[in-house]
Amino acid sequence: MPVSLLVLALSAFAIGTTEFVIMGLLPDVAADLGVSIPGAGWLVTGYALGVAIGAPFMAVATANLARKRALLVLMGVFIAGNLLCALAADYGLLMFARVVTALCHGAFFGIGSVVAASLVPENRRAQAVALMFTGLTLANVLGVPLGTALGQVAGWRATFWAVTGIGVLALIGLWRALPGDQPQEKADLRREFSALRGAGFWLALSTTVLFSASVFALFTYIAPLLGEVTGVTPSGVTWTLLLIGLGLTVGNYIGGRLADWRLRTSLIGAAVALGTSAALFAWTSQSLLAAEITLFLWAAAAFAAVPALQINVVSLGGGAPNLVSTLNIGAFNAGNALGAWVGGLVISQGLGLTSVPLAAAVLAVFALLATLLGFGVKRQASELEPVLD
């Protein structure tokens, strides 16, 4: 794999850390800013909506830039957003800063995925995308646990100062290592949006939304669930987040290879494993050892789907790879927002923290149904798309 893929993975690590570390810091942020746990959970929703809404606009705004320059501009936005997070003195400013940070997310991963896939032979595209997304898994293995520990010791703002520094290192790496001969064709909005036609494409995006919603319904509230139900100490939460990160890494590694082998099979298997492990956690959450094992398996299932979901959407929008790939990153984050909202709704309705994993399992069932329907439409596109449209 080219060294430039490692630079993209470092950038993904920086972005993934700032996205996911808020889960480990949720109780600290809520206590410091005087808001409830569900209220602090809206910081996850706000970030996710910022990605989902901002992704297509940022993709169009950077459409006429060479891909390297576009990635450098987007990383600059990321650095500015994290500086605002570190300086935020109240909940409103922190929410605004999270949204600013989120603006770079979708377009960066969208364009970065296209660059990653272009650096290797066609039969290794999913593995290349998986390597880039390894930065996200390492963000959970290292960034989230260390960021959580730093926030508990030095205050949650210190974590965002650290992430800002990582962003600066990523910016330098992109500038020095990324190939400069990746020009984009002049944007043709008619051609770009014509690639979005077809029921198969929108079903693929819906599948991404539902997979991500299932993951984040549980992941957003993992810290309070571990603390109040499993009885894990704050330092124990850090170690559990490390274990989850290891599961995500294993899942991402396996998922890239499965997607290159059989895309449909890998997505169906991931949906079944995700729903089963989430439902099981509703019962195993009250036993420390059983909870840790279940969370590892759940995390592996969660990220096993990521490379397949990205390749699944890009394969249906070849006429506008940057826009289509970016929209799928937006779909991931629309799912993040939906999942965080569903989990918060379950808690606020008084159903208890142990009902959150069950809600995540239900969303995984919907993801499975969308997967089956989407591949059915792809098989019979010429007959079914006019009807579905």
Query: Is residue 217 within 8 Å of residue 343, measured between CB atoms?
Result: yes
State the DSSP string of 63-101.
TTS-HHHHHHHHHHHHHHHHHHHHH--SHHHHHHHHHHH
pLDDT for position 387: 41
Q: Token digits for 340? A: 């965080």
State the DSSP string of 117-173.
HHTS-GGGHHHHHHHHHHHHHHIIIIIHHHHHHHHHHH-HHHHHHHHHHHHHHHHHH
Among the ranges given (125-134, 178-187, 239-248, 252-261), the one the predictor scored with the smallest mean pLDDT: 178-187
- For the chain, the structural domain boundaries read 3-382
pLDDT for position 251: 86
In angstroms, what CA-CA distances link 243 with 43, 69, 293, 296, 305? 24, 36, 9, 6, 19
pLDDT for position 380: 54
In angstroms, what CA-CA distances link 285 with 215, 223, 254, 309? 16, 12, 26, 29
pLDDT (tens digit per residue) in 359-379: 999 999 998 998 888 777 666
State the DSSP string of 220-270.
TTHHHHIIIII---HHHHHHHHHHHHHHHHHHHHHHHHHHHH-HHHHHHHH
Q: CA 353, 359, 365 angle in degrees (round to 5)? A: 155
> Which of left, alpha, beta for 120 (phi over 0: left; psi -120 to 50: alpha)?
beta
Query: Is residue 245 within 8 Å of residue 141, measured between CB atoms?
Result: yes
> Model confidence at 384, in pLDDT bands (50, 70, 90)?
very low
CATH no. for 3-382: 1.20.1250.20
pTM over 0.75: no
Does residue 265 register a pLDDT over 90? no
Q: Taking residues 172-180, report their average pLDDT.
A: 81
Does residue 261 register a pLDDT over 80? no
CA 385 from chain centre, in angstroms, equals: 29
pLDDT (tens digit per residue) in 320-345: 666 677 777 778 878 888 888 898 88
Residues above pLDDT 90, as percent of the chain: 17
Does residue 103 register a pLDDT over 60? yes
Does residue 13 register a pLDDT over 80? yes
Q: Token digits for 270? A: 């991931």
User: Which DSSP helix (H) or strand (E) runs through 51?
Assistant: helix 37-61
Q: Taking residues 310-317, report their average pLDDT.
A: 70
pLDDT higher at 312 or 300: 300
Mean confidence (pLDDT) of the chain: 81
Does residue 190 register a pLDDT over 70? no
